[in-house]
Amino acid sequence: MGELNEKCGVFGIFGTGLDVSRLAFYGLFALQHRGQESSGIAVSNGWRIDSFKNNGLVTHAYSESDIEKLKGHIAVGHNRYSTSEGSGLLHAQPILSRDRQLALAHNGNLPSVQRLKAFLEGKGFSVAGKADSELMTDAISYYLEQGLSLGDSVKNAYPLFTGAFSVVAMTRDELVAFKDGCGIRPLCMGRLNGGFVFASETCAFNTIGAEFLRELDAGEMVLVNNEGITSAIVVKDAKLRFDSFEFVYFARPDSYLLGKSVYEVRRRCGMRLASDKVIEADIVIPVPETAIPVAMGYSEASGIPTEMALIKNRYIHRTFITPDQHSRDLGVKLKLTPLPEMIRGKRVVVIDDSIVRGTTSKQIVKALFEAGAKEVHFVISSPPVRYPDFYGIDTPYQKKLIAASKSVSEICEFLGADSLTYLSIEGLVECIGIPKENLNLSCFNGDYAIDILERRKEIIIP
């Protein structure tokens, strides 16, 4: 799919005797899919916080000497794709407070920062040009400067944060992890050699050999220091509304979210699509990589064989790696190559996870016909994306979302496909296996789990 810009990945670790900077590096490497623009690690050795940030992929951002210089027993790390305030290292994370006593990494987005800015301006902080994560850091650091503990500082600043956030942050001697009251963004906790690890996804634990313990609850704060680990729910009326798009697209297939295998959820989506509508076809072709488990399930349920007839150049990363449109369009052409010998004269079911603007999907349909396909039927493992996201996915403005203004038949005509099938909202919920009231489906139905306040004026198509 590649038209939704990624959220971010966060990682935190506390453990004496652990090589925390190196473990953070490998954890961020496992979370590379969540952000490919910049990466950063901050480390505390008990009396000072040092950090390193760089543009690019994790394997390119750090050298051995960079990791060697980051000595300590606490670390927080971050992979970024810009969701606010533009790109580049200026807003790269982890964010350090003005006195370098706090480092913070944030996955998510605050659609409204008016209350947060008003608070900080009243306390003498400059807010001009600052992204939401920087403002969050300032708010927590203000309370730290007043002599409060890290836990109490987070509790006091928490009501100022209007939006989605899974955060790992540290002072010189403590590590904290906390989530918004709807738990929209993922964040899990593990154990490693007596220490504790936090990451956006369980796949990071597999990479470093940590034992998965559990996911943080909505509105939960977990604090780790030399005396142990404590937990508290810091928001009244916390209610889980987890982002359904994690299952559709963002999470790695080998991760578990809310106890559900991402791979199995996607496979069930494929089976449901095959049972919802019978398509007479010769082959099923997934758009790599996210749609592969979907295609496996579709093939199993329909009896139509799967062929990997769209070859992905694995050295071309998701097509939004460079935020400008020209580079994105070029990336699509470089990214996927059809195999004419597998396609020629065939009725093709091509499976993808979603359609956003429709330009990528249109190019895929065109490429398949040029490769000799007799028919092309487009099948999507999510409902139509009709509304923008305000919780950490850098979606286009609503008027650029093709499903906001076109019917399914009109989208099909735009793509040039013989048919177009979407998974229903009910079908997606059933395949995830989580009650609908515990999922955020706002991209599909406009029901925003957390009030988007002044951003609601951006919803121009009901």
Structural domains in the chain, CATH included, are 9-240 (3.60.20.10), 267-433 (3.40.50.2020)
**Rounded Cα gap, residues 80 and 57, in angstroms:** 10
Please name which of 297, 328, 331 lies closest in space to residue 312, comparing C-alpha atoms.
331
Give Cβ neighbours of residue 133 (< 8 Å, ≥ 6 apart): 91, 93, 95, 104, 105, 106
Phi and psi at 355, nearest 5°, equal: -125, 130
E strands within 294-395?
310-312, 336-338, 347-352, 375-380
Q: Roughly what angle, to the nearest 10 degrees, separates helices 132-145 and 114-122?
A: 40
d(C-alpha 416, C-alpha 347), whole Å:
14
Ordered per-residue pLDDT tens for the chain, 462 residues? 545 555 799 999 999 999 999 999 999 999 999 999 999 999 999 999 999 999 999 999 999 999 999 999 999 999 998 544 445 687 899 999 999 999 999 999 999 999 999 999 999 999 999 999 999 999 999 999 999 999 999 999 999 999 999 999 999 999 999 999 999 999 999 999 999 999 999 999 999 999 999 999 999 999 999 999 999 999 989 999 999 999 999 999 999 999 999 999 999 999 999 999 999 999 999 999 999 999 999 999 999 999 999 999 876 554 433 445 555 555 556 689 999 999 999 999 999 999 999 999 999 999 999 999 999 999 999 999 999 999 988 788 999 999 999 999 999 999 999 999 999 999 999 999 999 999 999 999 999 999 999 999 999 988
Please give the C-alpha separations between residue 242 and each of 185, 352, 439, in angstroms, as whole numbers: 7, 22, 5
Phi, psi (degrees; rounded to nearest 5) at 266:
-65, -35
Give residue-wise pLDDT tens across range 341-380. 999 999 999 999 999 999 999 999 999 999 999 999 999 9
H-only helix segments in 344-385 = 359-370
8 is catalytic: yes
Query: What is the predicted pLDDT for the residue at 307?
Result: 97
Q: From the CB of residue 60, how many other CB atoms can be counted at a distance below 10 Å?
A: 10
Q: What is the predicted pLDDT for the residue at 152?
A: 98
What's the full length of the chain, in residues? 462
pLDDT in tens, 395-410: 889 999 999 999 999 9
20-57 in b/e form (b: 16+ CB < 10 A) is bbbbbbbbbbbbbbbbbbbbbbbbbeeeebbbbbbeeb
